[in-house]
A = this chain, B = another copy of it.
Amino acid sequence: EIFAALRAKLAGVPQVLAGRKVVITAGPTHEPIDPVRYIANRSSGKQGYALAEAARDAGAEVVLVSGPVNLPAPPGVRVMSVETAREMAEAVEAALPCDIFIAAAAVADWRAQSDAAQKIKKGSDGPPMLALVENPDILAGVARRVAQRPPLVVGFAAETEHVLDHARVKLAKKGCDLIVANDVGAGSEVMGGAENSVVLVSRDGEQAWPRLPKSEVARRLIAHIAGLRPDGETARGA
Contact = CB atoms under 8 A, between A and B. Distances in A.
Nearest to A37: B41
A65 to B, nearest CB: 20
Given A35-B184, A121-B166, 15 more contacts: A30-B40, A35-B185, A38-B42, A39-B40, A110-B127, A118-B161, A118-B185, A119-B158, A119-B159, A119-B161, A127-B133, A128-B132, A129-B129, A129-B132, A130-B130
How many monomers of this protein are in the complex?
A: 2
The prevalent SS among residues of A at the interface is: loop
A109 interface: yes
Interface in A40-57: 40-42
Contacts of A40: 30, 37-40
Contact of A42 (B36, B41, B191): B36
B38 A37 contact: no
Interface residues of A, number: 38
A114 interface: no
A70 interface: yes
Given A119-B159, A128-B132, A129-B132, A39 B35 contact: no
Contacts of A118: 160-161, 185
A159 B121 CA distance: 10
Interface in A1-46: 30, 33-42
25 contacts: A30-B40, A34-B160, A35-B185, A36-B106, A36-B158, A36-B160, A37-B40, A38-B39, A39-B39, A39-B40, A109-B122, A118-B160, A118-B161, A119-B159, A119-B160, A119-B161, A122-B134, A126-B134, A127-B133, A128-B132, A129-B129, A129-B130, A129-B131, A130-B130, A130-B131
